[in-house]
Amino acid sequence: MAEVAGGESLLFLTDEQLRKGIEAMFFAYRGFTADPDRILEGLDYGRAHHRAVHFIHRSPGTTVSNLLAILGVTKQSLNRVLRTLIDDGHVKSEKGKADARERHLFLTEKGEALERALSDAQRARMRAAYRAAGPAAVAGFRQVLEAMMDPEMRSQYNRLRDGG
């Protein structure tokens, strides 16, 4: 940070550097989703299903409203996906005990197996990238990504992170 203030390393803020960062995000995100996409393809599922499964696994018993806030989609859109996941026996939905209006969402055994298949694929790539780049790079990676989030997303992210 001292170098930055001193002006020595401001090259990392040139438009050219920023463009490279933008393209890196674009190409990397494609890689990031490629492996789970391949698995989902055979199941008539898409990324939307993956996201739902991921966050239900992450926060078992979460409500529909919670999921809506995290995923940032409309309830109609989420409902379509949730409907198929429930019908296929990957997710179960239980009426809330304290508040019976809420539905608490859980993965079934089958759903957990699906989640494992998807996240194993994604983690394998992530692990390879982390290993190739090393711990210092990983710390920087996380710092930049966190700074790139919208504040509300960041608090969602931190809530999940701290909850873990």
**Alpha-carbon separation of residue 122 from 39, 75, 81, 126 (angstroms):** 11, 26, 21, 6
Q: Which of 60, 61, 89, 140: binder of a copy of itself (CB under 8 A)? A: 140
Only one of the segments 24-32, 99-107, 109-117, 150-158 lies at the binding site for DNA (rule: CB under 7 A); that segment is: 99-107
Cβ burial, residue 154 (10 Å; 0-12/13-18/19+): middle
Q: Could you tell which of DNA, a copy of itself, none binds residue 109, using a CB distance below 5 to 8 A set by kind?
A: none
Q: Could you tell which of DNA, a copy of itself, none binds residue 60, using a CB distance below 5 to 8 A set by kind?
A: none
Spatial contact of 47 and 33, defined as CB atoms under 8 Å apart? yes
Spatial contact of 35 and 124, defined as CB atoms under 8 Å apart? yes
Spatial contact of 56 and 67, defined as CB atoms under 8 Å apart? yes
The closest of 26, 23, 41 to 121, measured between CA atoms, is: 41
Instruction: Compare residues 21 and 46 and give the one whose CB is closer to DNA.
Output: 46
* By CB under 7 A, residue 87 contacts DNA: no
* By CB under 8 A, residue 113 contacts a copy of itself: no
The pattern of x and - marking residues 2 through 31 that bind a copy of itself according to CB under 8 A reads: -xx----x--xx-xxxxxxxxxxxxxxxxx
CB of 84 to a copy of itself, least distance (A): 21
Q: Could you tell which of DNA, a copy of itself, none binds residue 114, using a CB distance below 5 to 8 A set by kind?
A: none
| Distance of alpha carbon 63 from alpha carbon 103, whole angstroms | 5
The closest of 71, 87, 76, 82 to 157, measured between CA atoms, is: 71
Kindly list the residues in this chain that would bind a copy of itself in the complex (CB under 8 A). 1, 3-4, 9, 12-13, 15-32, 34, 51, 54, 58, 72, 119, 122-123, 125-150, 153-154, 156-157, 160-161, 164
